Structure 1
Amino acid sequence: MSDNRWTKGATEWQPRIGKRSRGRQPLRWSNSIAKVKGRLWHREAGDKNRWRLDTQGYILQWMDKAS
């Protein structure tokens, strides 16, 4: 399998270099999903086909913001 899979990119951890910045800590990915899908997003995750479509759209949106 290719290392360019979106699942690997979404879950790969990158340690910070240097000191932590001041202010509020960054949000976790689950906080971001809850903000978009609502507090009960994990129930929707039970429908595999729907969840796959939702996560692909979410990742594409996230990648657009990052670039």
Structure 2
Amino acid sequence: MDYLNNIPTSRKNKHLNDFERGQIELLHKQGYSPYAIGKILNRAPNTIRNELKRGTVTQIKAL
């Protein structure tokens, strides 16, 4: 077996790009769970949860 072509690339400490953020938003709106989105994008589910949490705004007090 030739291991030179089968070395997995590490995604550690890599930022999400705009395309991935768009994919997260689209898949979340379609009802996918953070775990399922992580599997699709080859990212940790916690990364997806953090990105979803970062993109939402909670209203504290209504005027």
TM-score, scaled relative to structure 1: 0.21
Rg comparison, structure with higher value = 2
Comparing both structures, which one devotes a greater share of its residues to helix? 1
Asked which structure has the greater RCO (Cα within 8 Å, sep 6+), the reply is 1
TM-score, scaled relative to structure 2: 0.22
